[in-house]
Amino acid sequence: MKRLHRSTTFRITLRSLLVGLVLSLFSSISAQEPVRIAFIDPLSGTFASIGTSGLKQLQYAADELFNSKGGILGGRMIEIVPLDNKQSPTDTQIQFRRAVSEGLRIIFQGNSSAVANTLNSTISRHNRRNPGQEILQINYSAVDPILTNEQCSFWHFRFDAHAVMKLNVLTDYIAMNPEIKKIYIIGQDYSFGQVVSDTSIELLREKRPDIEIVGNEFHPIGQVKDFTPYVTKIVSSGADAVITGNFGADMVSLARSIIDSGLDIPIYTFYAAYDGITATLGADGVDKIYLVHNDAGNPLPSEERLAYTRNFKRLNPNNDMTQFRITNALQMLVQAMEASQSVDPYDIALALEDMRFTNMSGEELWMRGEDHQIIQPLHISVHTDQNIVVDADNSGFGLYRDFSVPGEETMVDHSCRMRRPRR
């Protein structure tokens, strides 16, 4: 009696175990775990507009290119987890901890090189201390050269050209204009602003020794209410052109103040478009605002790209496809996952190194393995309302491509000596 009882219990346990196993197998097929990606950028505060716009573009790229087509890695969806860092390095640390505790292994981040630098060193430290639990940093926008030079890391990949590469193209363009004799440099007082200033001075001295730098000004980031006092200095310096690395509200206010003062000189910028900037500059900025960037601008280079952008616009009528490199980054990331059949940052990093990729615009991209810096064509566009197919801020104004440089010519030397993890 006792024996029989025991064998029935055994049988019941065995059966429930089997059922459980089958059930768990079944559920893992029907609803595979999503691939979760953290997005750490400002979603509130002074720089919220750039961050939220980036989030929408990443979400769109994930949904449009992968989730709506059955997901990646045989049916897994991409889930974007937004984490707001208010563009502050301190909040970034907090959100990084949160990402780690939630098991997120891939972090997209772009705004502010100060934040990217913090994240880079935090991730390096974390990865050293937690082998097997590494985190991957996908930097889609922070352009401080240090990230792929002195501070380069195996776990960091940059999908935008860094400041020196962009300035190289920009100073080439300036050097072609013989009318420019005096240049005023103004920028936000932090790493990127200083790189822009130092590098412009150095490159212009090489390319056009006759150009005089008549001003080199820094102002605290996001603190200036009114730029008119700065513009007064620019006017009295007699400058023929202005170079600035400002972004967000600092960019709009500066450009508006320059234009309001009646000064008719070109302003060479990195970020003077979209997120309300183009609309605010409007007719006053035509043929004055120049932008060096990695996007082809108008005319859009391919039908596919045009359809992709138009569809984004349909879904987000109040936003623009401002940072196409986010799409590039996600596509290359997914390609690396597919190639390595893994979502482990180490495997992904190996697959990303030296990856060559043709993007939707038909441009050739190369992720240089030595320093994890993307090499891609760069362009200089001008703010105008002529021949604009895809405008910015629904304003009728947009960016028209004026000058392009193929990827291989944008390359600059690097000083990265990467510490590669052993496995």
Partner 1 sequence: MLEVFVFSTLNGLVTGLLLFMLASGLTLIFSMMGVLNFAHASFYMLGAYFAYSISLKLGFWTGLFVAPLLVGTFGALVERYALRRVHAHGHVAELVFTFGLAFLIEEAVQFFWGADTKNYQSPDLLNFPLFTLFGQEFSAYRGFMITISVGIFLALYYVLTRSRIGIIIQAAITHPHTVANLGHNVPLIFMAVFGVGTALAGVAGVIAGPVLTTFPGMAVVLGSIVFVIVVIGGLGSLGGAFVASLMIGLLQSYAIASNLGMPDLLNLLGLEFSRDHPLNDLWTLTLPQIAPVLPFLLLVLVLIFRPTGLAGKREE
Chain residues binding partner 1 by CB under 8 A are 43-49, 51-53, 189, 217-220, 222-226, 228-230, 232-233, 235-236, 248-249, 252-253, 256, 260-263, 275-277, 279-280, 282, 318, 393, 395
- The first and second tokens of residue 101, run together, are 């505790």
Q: Which lies closer to partner 1 via its Cβ, residue 229 or residue 369?
A: 229
Number of helices (H) and strands (E) in the chain: give both, helices first: 13, 15
Q: How far is the CB of 182 from partner 1 (least distance, A)?
A: 14
- The first and second tokens of residue 324, run together, are 């196409």
Q: Which among 83, 82, 80, 149 has a CA at the least distance from the CA of 113?
A: 149
> Rounded to an integer, what distance in angstroms lies between the CA atom of residue 332 and that of residue 403?
26
Q: Which lies closer to partner 1 via its Cβ, residue 261 or residue 342?
A: 261
CB-based contacts of 101: which residues, under 8 Å, 6+ apart?
none
Q: How far is the CB of 405 from partner 1 (least distance, A)?
A: 30
Q: Which lies closer to partner 1 via its Cβ, residue 157 or residue 397?
A: 397
Q: How far is the CB of 136 from partner 1 (least distance, A)?
A: 27
Q: Which lies closer to partner 1 via its Cβ, residue 6 or residue 205?
A: 205
Q: Which lies closer to partner 1 via its Cβ, residue 363 or residue 393?
A: 393
Q: How far is the CB of 320 from partner 1 (least distance, A)?
A: 10
Q: How far is the CB of 415 from partner 1 (least distance, A)?
A: 17
- CB atoms near residue 307 (< 10 Å): 12
Q: Which lies closer to partner 1 via its Cβ, residue 151 or residue 395?
A: 395
Using N-to-C axis directions, what is the helix angle for 113-129 and 191-207, rounded to 10°? 110
Q: How far is the CB of 226 from partner 1 (least distance, A)?
A: 5
Q: How far is the CB of 282 from partner 1 (least distance, A)?
A: 7
**Residues pairing with 356 in the sheet:** 366
CB-based contact 242:258 (threshold 8 Å): yes
> Rounded to an integer, what distance in angstroms lies between the CA atom of residue 354 and that of residue 365?
10
Q: Which lies closer to partner 1 via its Cβ, residue 2 or residue 225?
A: 225
Residue 24, CA distances (Å) to 14, 74, 342 in order = 15, 18, 21
Q: How far is the CB of 235 from partner 1 (least distance, A)?
A: 5
Residue 354, CA distances (Å) to 119, 143, 319, 349, 366 in order = 23, 20, 33, 10, 6
Q: Which lies closer to partner 1 via its Cβ, residue 261 or residue 335?
A: 261
Residue 393, CA distances (Å) to 153, 228, 383, 396, 409 in order = 37, 25, 12, 8, 32
